[in-house]
Structure 1
C-alpha cells in the first residue's frame, strides 16, 4: 500500500472530486432539465435532493474508498470477504466505461464547436444553428475524429497518475471554471430583460410541483454528483486516512450546486433577454448558446470562453470515469498505469463509435425505440447508477458497524445519526423510486 499513489493535498482531492461531479451534469444537463421542468421548482427540489440524499451517499462513497485504499472491486472484497458486495465494483466498472463511451462523443462535439468558435465560424447573421448542430452530429468522420481527440486528451491526463496528472489538471481547470463562469454570469445578468430569467430561476411556479418533477430532480442530483459509478470511491482511495471525509463531501456538493446555479444564471437571463424559450431540451447548449451569444456585444469572444469552460468541465469528469476503469485494471501496480490507460481508453473509444454514429449512419438502428446513444445513456443513468448507489448506501449503512462508521466520519452525533437514518432508510427508498421510474416509465 505504501507504493500507491495519493493526492498531495486536501484541496487537490476536493477539486478533483468536484471536477468529477461537475462536468456535463451541471453545465449541459442541469440548464435544460430546469428549463423544461418549470425552472425554480425543479431547482429548489434539486438543491434539497442534493443536500439530503445525494450528500449522505457521497459521504458513503468517500468512506468506502478511503477505508479500503484499493480499487472498488478489491476494496469491497477486503472489507466484506466472502460476500458479493464486490459486484458494486463491477457495476461501477461497466457503468464508467459505458458512460465515458458516449460522454466522449459529447466531448467531441464540444471540441468541434470550440474549433469553430476559435475560427469564428459560429458567428455571422443568418446562421441556422440547429442545422449546424445536425450537420456536425451526422458527419461520421468528424464525429469519430472529435471523439478520438477527446479520448486522447483524457488518457494523457490519466496516464500521468494522481499527483502528476489528475490533481494538477484539476487544480488548474476548476479555478478557471469558476472564473470563466463568474465573468459570463456578470455579462448575462447585465442584459436588458435579464431579470425575467432570474425570476424564472428563483420565483417558484408551484404548478410544476409534482412527483415527476421530484423524481427528475432526484435523478439530476445523482447524475451531477457521479453517484453509483464508483468514481468517488476510486478518488477517496487515494485520500490520506487523516482527512475528514464529511467536510470534503460538503465542499464537493456545495461546489456542484454553485456551478449548476451559475450555469443557469449564465444561460437563462440571456435566453429571456433575447426572447428565446428555455424549453429547448438537450440542444440548449449547442443550438441556443451560439444563437444567444451571436447577439451579444463581444459575443464571439464570450462564445470561445464558454466552450473552453465546457471543455474543462467535461474533461474533469471524463478523467474520473477513465480512472475508475484504470484503477480496477491495475489494482495497486502503479508501474502498469500508462499501458493500462492506453488499452482501456482505446477499448472505450471503440465501444463509443456506435454512439458517435447513432445520429447518422446508424440512425435507423434502435434499441427499445432509442438510438444507440440514448440507450447507453438510459442503461447507465437510469439503471446501473441507481443500482450502484443503492448498494453503496446499504453497504455503508448496514455492513459497517456503528463503531466503524463513527470513526470514519469523525463528526458530531447529530450529523452521524442523520446520515445513518438517510443511508439506511430514506436514500434506498428514493433510489428505488428512480429505478422504478426508469424501468416502468
Structure 2
C-alpha cells in the first residue's frame, strides 16, 4: 500500500521539513560552538560542509522516499527486497523513538519555564541556577511537563499530514521567524552589541582546531535531520511534480539562516552584559534568563525566547513521531490516530527514566553517564552516524542511476551539470566524512 496522504503545497513540505531540521540543539549549540571555535571561520565551514555533505544526503533521502512513495522501512524493502538494507529504516525508527523519549524531557522543561513566566515566578527569581536544578530534580514537574509536551505532539501527528503536521508548521515556522526578528532587534540595540556580532561572524581561522573542523563536518549533516530517514518519510508524501533539488536547497538555506539568526539573537545580548555563554541546557535555562533580567522589559523577551525554543522543539518532535507512526501504519490512514497515541504513550514511558535522571535516578549511571546522557550519546554518537552512512552508500549501490536521474529531473529539466557531482559526493566523499566524524565522536581520532 502506497502513501495515501500528500502535502497540499510545496511550501507546506518545505516548512515541515525545515521545522524537522531546526531543533533546539541547532539554536542553542551551534551559536556557542561558532563563538568558541573561530567565530565566522567556523560558521563559514559549517555553511560549506552543509552544501557539500548535508545537502547531498538530504537530497538522497528525498529520492528514496519520493521514488518509492513509502515510509522509512517499506521504502528500503521496496527498492531492495529480501536484503539487509531495510535495517536502515529500522535504525531510523528506533533512533527517533529513543531521541523523542529524552527530547520530550527538554520540551517539558521549556513548558515548565513558560508556566513559571506566566505566573510571575520566573521574573521574581534571583538564582536561575537553583531554579533550574530544582525544576529538573522534581519528579512531578519533570514527568508531568514531559507528558504535556508529548500530548501536544500526539494531537498534531494524529490529525495527519495535511490537517496536523502541515497545518501546525504553517503557523509555527513563520511565528518562529517573527520572534527571532523581534529578539534580534532588541539584542542589536543593546550597548556593545556590535562586539557580539563581530565575535560571531568575523572569520578568525587562527582559532580553528582540527576538532573544530570535525565538529563542523558532523554538524553539517546532523543539522539537516538526515541519517534517521525522517526525510524519506516526509518526501514519500510528495507528488511527482515537485522539484526535489529546489526543495532541498530551500530547506538547507532556511537551516543556515536560522543558525545565523540564533547567533545574532544571542551574542549581542551576551556581549552587552559581559556574560560567557555555555553549551547545553544552561544557556537557555540559566544564562539567558539572567541576561534578560538585566534589561528593560526583559521578561517579555525571555518569554519570546522560550516560545521560540518551544516551537523549534515541537516541529522537530512532529517529524520524530511521524516516522514511527507511518512505519507502523504502513499507509493505512484509519490506524493513524490510535497508533499516534499508542506510540506517544510508549515513548513517554520509555522517557520517564530520562526525566528522572536529574533527580531520584541521578545516581543511576550507564558507562559513567546519567540515563539522559546515555540515551543522548547512543543517538547522537552511534545511531545517527551509522544511519547516515548506510543511506549514503545505499543510494549509489542499490538504486538505478537512471531512476535517480529521472526523480531529480522531474520539474527541473536538464540536470546533467550537477547530477554527476551529486552522485560523486554521495559515492565517495560523504561516506568517508561520516566515518571520520564517527571515529571522532567515539574518541578514536
Show the counterpart of 2:293: 294
The reply on whether 1:309 has 2:296 as its aligned counterpart is no
CA contact (8 A) 2:16 2:315 kept: yes
Rounded to whole Å, the distance in 2 between the matches of 1:216 and 1:189 is: 28
Show the counterpart of 2:31: 31
1:365 Cα offset (Å): 1.3
Show the counterpart of 1:231: 230
Rounded to whole Å, the distance in 1 between the matches of 2:395 and 2:432 is: 15
After superposition, the Cα gap between the structure-2 partners of 1:386 and 1:2, relative to the gap in structure 1 and judged at 3 Å, is closer
CA displacement, residues 18-37 of structure 1 (integer Å, 9 cap, x when unaligned): 00000213213222333443
Rounded to whole Å, the distance in 2 between the matches of 1:218 and 1:111 is: 32
- TM alignment of 1:75-90, pairs within 5 A: 75-90=75-90
1:2 Cα offset (Å): 6.9
CA contact (8 A) 1:229 1:388 kept: yes
CA contact (8 A) 1:71 1:327 kept: yes
Show the counterpart of 2:115: 115
After superposition, the Cα gap between the structure-2 partners of 1:130 and 1:280, relative to the gap in structure 1 and judged at 3 Å, is farther
The reply on whether 1:130 has 2:129 as its aligned counterpart is yes
Q: Secondary structure at the match of 1:295?
A: coil
Q: Secondary structure at the match of 1:84?
A: coil
The reply on whether 1:264 has 2:267 as its aligned counterpart is no
Rounded to whole Å, the distance in 1 between the matches of 2:52 and 2:3 is: 37
After superposition, the Cα gap between the structure-2 partners of 1:321 and 1:148, relative to the gap in structure 1 and judged at 3 Å, is same
The reply on whether 1:213 has 2:212 as its aligned counterpart is yes
CA contact (8 A) 2:269 2:291 kept: yes
CA displacement, residues 335-364 of structure 1 (integer Å, 9 cap, x when unaligned): 000110001001101111111111111111
Which segment drifts farther, 100-109 or 284-293? Answer: 284-293
Show the counterpart of 1:195: 194
After superposition, the Cα gap between the structure-2 partners of 1:38 and 1:365, relative to the gap in structure 1 and judged at 3 Å, is farther
Show the counterpart of 1:420: 423
Which segment drifts farther, 268-277 or 365-374? Answer: 365-374
Consecutive aligned runs of 4 or more in structure 1 exceeding 4 Å deviation: none
CA contact (8 A) 1:25 1:223 kept: no
1:296 Cα offset (Å): 1.8
The reply on whether 1:432 has 2:404 as its aligned counterpart is no
**Unaligned segments of structure 1, at least 5 residues:** none
CA contact (8 A) 2:328 2:339 kept: yes
Show the counterpart of 2:64: 64
Rounded to whole Å, the distance in 1 between the matches of 2:166 and 2:280 is: 33
1:207 Cα offset (Å): 3.2
1:403 Cα offset (Å): 1.1
- TM alignment of 1:354-365, pairs within 5 A: 354-365=353-364
Rounded to whole Å, the distance in 1 between the matches of 2:386 and 2:196 is: 36
- TM alignment of 1:1-400, pairs within 5 A: 4-124=4-124, 127-400=126-399
Q: Please tell me the root mean square deviation across aligned C-alpha atoms, in Å.
A: 1.4
Normalising by structure 1, report the TM-score: 0.97
1:279 Cα offset (Å): 3.9
CA contact (8 A) 1:193 1:273 kept: yes
CA contact (8 A) 2:28 2:280 kept: no
Rounded to whole Å, the distance in 2 between the matches of 1:282 and 1:111 is: 14
After superposition, the Cα gap between the structure-2 partners of 1:380 and 1:239, relative to the gap in structure 1 and judged at 3 Å, is same
Rounded to whole Å, the distance in 1 between the matches of 2:9 and 2:153 is: 22
**Unaligned segments of structure 2, at least 5 residues:** none
1:133 Cα offset (Å): 1.0
CA contact (8 A) 2:28 2:279 kept: no
CA displacement, residues 311-341 of structure 1 (integer Å, 9 cap, x when unaligned): 1111000010000100001101110001100
Normalising by structure 2, report the TM-score: 0.96
1:375 Cα offset (Å): 1.0
